[in-house]
Amino acid sequence: MGGTETGARRMHPAGMLLSVLSYIKNTFFIILFLFVFRAGSEAVWVIVLKIAFLALTAVSLVTLVPAWWRKTYRIEDDSVKVDSGIFVRKHRSIPFRRVQNVNRQVPAALKLLGLTSLTLETGAGGEESSIKFDAVTKTEAARIEAALDGYRSRRANAEETKPDDVQIPANVDGETTAFQDMVSSIPEKRIIHFTPSTKDIVKASFLSFSFIALIPVVATVYKNADDFFDLDGRAKGIFSALSGSSLLLVAVIAAFVLFAMVFGMVRTWLKYGKYEISSDDDRIYIRRGVFSEQALSVRKKNVQAVEIVETPLKRVLGMAEAKLITVGSFGEGLEDINSLYPYLPRKRALEIISELLPDIEVEEEMDRLPKAALAVKMMRVPWLALAGSIALFIWKPEFRFVPDWWVLAAVLFAGTWLLRLFDYRNTRYLISGPLVQFRKGGIWRTTFITKREKVIEAEVSQSRLQKVFGVASIKTVNRAKPVHHQDLDDVPAASAAEFNRWYTGRTPELIPVELEG
């Protein structure tokens, strides 16, 4: 890895290879269209586009080396500084106190070279939301993470020691000996909570329907290949042969199903084959990926809430997906890495939550909504069913086996009210000590748990209809990116007032809202 005389460092040169691969990926269809499908075209607009594309490509390639050379970074005691720009210099400084999550991504190209990429995520938005080290050695990535952990350890102990008048000597490399001692003293005690077995991978491949992904792949290959070969004509002959032999047709279908299953299992294995959930006293670690590795490191104190999602199929199979709602974002390609393996048995998912976050306990016994809540739900205007019925009345479809429009409209209304009934029967809530827990959803059920200290805003509202029946709506707002809103409708007015007192209990000077019960 390159260094400079001023102590600043450069990314690994392999980062330029990633830039080239990314450019090819982003312009693949342009290349395919201009230089494959229109290879022999003499149209003026095609020639102009080819020249413009080649010119843009040449400029991009020529500026790769200067851009890499001019981008440097420095890891200091309390911040990371990045300087970039070939002609117009840009200077960024991100204090370690703003870093919320640490993400690692190891694309296959970097893995072959023994390198990794590292992203420091903050709670900010836009371009300032993160600093990404596109290509660094694993040793350098560990050094950056150690600097961040060292800062946090010093900050945690600052109130006890506060050696304001002590000068920390620096070594010849510009790094303080105190920093080196702190890094060397950081414990590496991780507890592994979950790694999937082969049975788990096979189960996940079916539950995720990964085998279905083969269909669009085959369709895309067929469409592109048909431009060069007369596949339509050959396909007609193949279909004719298959229709003439039932045994051959069954064999082909069985072979395709088997291949799709293998494809799905391989696709799932590539994503979850090396999946691991672990933790230490301060952080939660999630790692996944076989060829292209991804890793998330999030501080436990940054976990704002936990969300448990149960789809209809998972409910039937007794499974659930637990998600961590945290401060900051996870970067491109890591949007779903906050999920604690989405194909766990529900009981095991709850156990892992308790192991990772001992102060959060999911309760099974919760309060149900009053019968007045069902009346309110049924009396609300079913706007979607109403709009659908108006569309059916105007369109009046006349297809074979399709009933009259008024029958379809009746089904829409009946389905809407049936879903509201399911939602009423499944909705639960609990306010217990520092925790609040919501569960809602008729067919697709979601359970939400958060602590009072993590709620940045609480809201209690009551419409005229709710006031008549003595119910109200409550809502929590948690720090996340984007900000996470969680609401629950039609709880008893007394429970809503209790929720309001529960939240204002952390700030006594706030005046509770009085509701009409």
- What CATH number is attached to the domain comprising 397? 2.30.29
| Contact call for residues 337 and 324 (beta carbons, < 8 A) | no
Q: Answer yes or no: is 192 within a domain.
A: no
101 bridge partner residues: 121, 298
**pLDDT tens track for 67-96:** 999 999 999 888 889 998 888 888 888 888
Judged against a pLDDT cut of 90, whether residue 487 lies above it is answered with yes
Instruction: Say how many domains are in the chain.
Output: 4
Strand, coil or helix: 79: strand
Terminal CA-to-CA distance of the chain, rounded, Å? 68
Q: Answer yes or no: is 4 within a domain.
A: no
DSSP state of 476: E
**Residue 215, Cβ neighbours under 10 Å: how many?**
11
Q: For 367-377, what is the mean pLDDT?
A: 94
| Contact call for residues 516 and 470 (beta carbons, < 8 A) | yes
Q: 333 and 475 share a domain?
A: no
DSSP state of 13: T
Q: 224 and 297 share a domain?
A: no
Q: 316 and 420 share a domain?
A: no
Q: 226 and 324 share a domain?
A: no
Q: For 487-495, what is the mean pLDDT?
A: 94
Positions of E strands within 96-149? 99-106, 115-122, 130-137
Q: 232 and 144 share a domain?
A: no
Q: 180 and 45 share a domain?
A: yes
Q: Answer yes or no: is 459 within a domain.
A: yes
Q: Answer yes or no: is 1 within a domain.
A: no
Residue 310 sits in which domain range? 274-356
Strand, coil or helix: 500: helix
Q: How confident is the model at residue 485 (pLDDT cuts 50, 70, 90)?
A: very high
Q: Report the percentage of the chain scoring pLDDT > 70.
A: 79
Q: Looking only at Cα atoms, what is the longest distance across the chain? A: 92
Question: Domain boundary residue among 232, 249, 272?
Answer: 272
Q: Report the percentage of the chain scoring pLDDT > 90.
A: 29
Q: Answer yes or no: is 2 within a domain.
A: no
Residue 344 CB burial class (10 angstroms; 0-12, 13-18, ≥19): buried
**pLDDT tens track for 11-50:** 999 889 888 988 898 888 888 888 887 888 888 888 899 9
Q: 145 and 280 share a domain?
A: no
Helix axes 231-243, 246-272, angle to 10 degrees: 120
Q: 352 and 413 share a domain?
A: no
Cα 380 to Cα 283, 315, 466: the distances in Å are 45, 28, 10
Q: 305 and 336 share a domain?
A: yes
Q: 92 and 229 share a domain?
A: no
**pLDDT tens track for 248-275:** 667 777 877 787 777 777 887 888 888 8
Q: Answer yes or no: is 266 within a domain.
A: yes
Q: Answer yes or no: is 134 within a domain.
A: yes
Q: Answer yes or no: is 25 within a domain.
A: yes
Q: 259 and 291 share a domain?
A: no
Q: 179 and 126 share a domain?
A: yes
